Amino acid sequence: MTWPIHLDRSVLIRKRIQSSKAEVLKILSDGESYLSLQPYVKEMSRNTSNPQVYRVTEQVPAPLGLWTYQNSFSITFVPAEDDEGQGMNMTGVFDMSFFCPKFKSSIRVKETEEPGTVEIVEKTEMQPFCLMGVRVCGHESVCRSTALALENLVPILTSASAELPYAVYSRR
């Protein structure tokens, strides 16, 4: 019997928040705004020749929070719409490709039957090295914190001007 060294893993998060579809899409449609919601992003830069591609460096806590390690990847954002709603598809490639060669993620927003409430759905699929499975569990907390950050940012966006400074989104 042969053991696989890269396992297929996925995370699915659904969250309802008080907002409109347009307000949430305003955040999701900008890669920089979306990435700055991620709790571990240390720095990011947009590719000047392809504005849909970003270079991201994370400072990720190791299991039990005993230390942190730096992780870098390239990610491509593409607008998308399907049965789950409207939003973005993302594909990424890690620098440390042996530990997790690639990932793909989608985030969608759609109106619900409740007025003033939308549902955010985030799906992430990755193939981590078998000993990095804890990273997949950790990604669930990243997805949840993204949804929470969206929920907290929407009131700021609706009360502020149409063009917000990057600092509103930044965690640095």
Answer whether residue 60 is part of any domain: no
Answer whether residue 70 is part of any domain: no
Q: In whole angstroms, what is the distance from residue 44 CA to residue 143 CA?
A: 18
Answer whether residue 141 is part of any domain: yes
Answer whether residue 137 is part of any domain: yes
User: What tens-digit pLDDT sequence spans the chain (172 residues)?
Assistant: 445 666 677 778 888 888 889 988 988 888 888 888 877 889 999 999 999 999 999 887 776 778 888 888 899 999 999 988 999 999 988 887 666 667 888 999 999 999 989 998 888 887 766 655 555 555 556 666 666 777 776 554 444 433 333 322 223 3
Q: Which domain holds residue 141?
A: 9-39+78-161
What is the number of structural domains in the chain?
1
Residue whose C-alpha is closest to residue 156's, from 1, 24, 7: 24
Answer whether residue 46 is part of any domain: no
Answer whether residue 31 is part of any domain: yes
Query: 53 and 47 in contact (C-beta within 8 Å)?
Result: yes
Q: Residue 3: what are its φ and ψ, rounded to 5°?
A: -90, 135
Supply the CATH number for residue 144's domain: 3.30.530.20
Query: 41 and 58 in contact (C-beta within 8 Å)?
Result: yes
